[in-house]
Amino acid sequence: MIEFLESTDFHMWFVLGLTAWSAYSFVREKLPIEVTSVLLLTALLLFGQLFPIIDANGKNQLDAMPLLSGFANPALVAVLALLVMGQAIVQTDALRPITRIFMTPHKTLAWISIICIIFLVMALSGFMNNTPLVVLAIPVLQALAKEAKLSESRIMIPLSFAAILGGMTTLVGSSTNMLVSSAMVELGYRPLTFFQFFVPGAIMAGVGFIYVVLFLPRLLPDRSSLAKQLVGDDREFIAEIDVSDEDNLVGMECEGGSFASLPNIKIRLIQRSGHLILPPFEGYTIEPGDILIVAATRDSLTALLSDYPGFLLSEEEEKALVLKKEKQEQLNEDGEENTAPADLEETVAESRVLAEVMITPASRMIDMSLDQVGFHRQFGTIVLGIQRRARVVRRRLGRIRLEAGDVLLIAGSRGSIDAMQDSQDLIVLSGSKKDLPLRKKAPIAGGIMIATIGCAALGVLSIPVAALTGAVLLIATGCLNVRQATRAVDRKIFLLIGSMLALGQALQVTQGARFIAESLLDVPFADTPLIMASLLFIVVAICTNILSNNACAILFTPIGLSLASNMGVDPMIFAVTVVFAANCSFASPIGYKTNLLVMGPGHYRFKDFLKAGVPLVLLIWGVYIVLAKYYYNL
Same domain, 295 and 379: no
Q: Given 430, 450, 466, which residue is the final one in a domain? A: 430
pLDDT at 1 over 60: no
pLDDT at 469 over 70: yes
Same domain, 401 and 451: no
Dihedral sign of CA atoms 588, 590, 592, 597 in order: positive
Residue 44: inside a domain, yes or no? no
pLDDT at residue 29, rounded to an integer: 67
Residue 614: inside a domain, yes or no? no
Residue range 310-362, pLDDT digits in tens: 555 555 555 555 565 566 666 666 655 444 444 544 544 445 677 888 888 88
Q: Which range of residues forms the domain containing residue 164? A: 85-226+440-491
Find out whether the peptide bond into 139 is cis, omega within 30 degrees of 0.
no
Same domain, 465 and 405: no
Residue 563: inside a domain, yes or no? no
437 near 92, Cβ under 8 Å? yes
Q: Given 249, 282, 307, which residue is the final one in a domain? A: 307
Residue 567: inside a domain, yes or no? no
Residue 473: inside a domain, yes or no? yes
- CA pair distance 5, 9, nearest whole angstrom: 8
pLDDT at residue 395, rounded to an integer: 64
DSSP letter at 173 equals: G
pLDDT at residue 572, rounded to an integer: 92
Q: Which residues pair with 248 in a beta bridge?
A: none
Question: 309 vs 423, which has greater pLDDT?
Answer: 423
Question: 542 vs 380, which has greater pLDDT?
Answer: 542
If you average pLDDT over residues 527-545, what whole number do you get?
Answer: 88
DSSP, collapsed to helix, strand or coil, labels residue 542 as helix
pLDDT at 171 over 60: yes
> How confident is the prediction for the chain on average, in pLDDT?
79
Q: Given 398, 430, 462, which residue is the final one in a domain? A: 430
Same domain, 298 and 251: yes
Same domain, 384 and 266: no
If you average pLDDT over residues 224-240, what whole number do you get?
Answer: 56
**Of 410, 304, 397, residue with least CA distance to 356:** 410
Question: 159 vs 136, which has greater pLDDT?
Answer: 159
pLDDT-derived band at 458, boundaries 50, 70, 90: confident
Residue 456: inside a domain, yes or no? yes
SS (H, E, C) 443-505: HHHHHHHHHHHHHHHCCCCCHHHHHHHHHHHHHHCCCCCHHHHHHHCCHHHHHHHHHHHHHHH
pLDDT-derived band at 393, boundaries 50, 70, 90: low
Number of domains observed in the structure of the chain: 3
pLDDT at residue 513, rounded to an integer: 64
Same domain, 375 and 421: yes
- CA pair distance 582, 197, nearest whole angstrom: 14
Same domain, 455 and 424: no
Confidence (pTM): 0.61
Query: Which CATH number is 299's domain given?
Result: 3.30.70.1450
pLDDT at residue 339, rounded to an integer: 46
Same domain, 473 and 375: no
Same domain, 108 and 215: yes
Same domain, 154 and 96: yes
If you average pLDDT over residues 269-288, what whole number do you get?
Answer: 78
Residue 468: inside a domain, yes or no? yes
Dihedral sign of CA atoms 361, 364, 370, 374 in order: negative
Residue 435: inside a domain, yes or no? no
pLDDT at residue 414, rounded to an integer: 78
Same domain, 413 and 302: no
pLDDT at 580 over 70: yes
pLDDT at 203 over 90: yes
Same domain, 169 and 100: yes
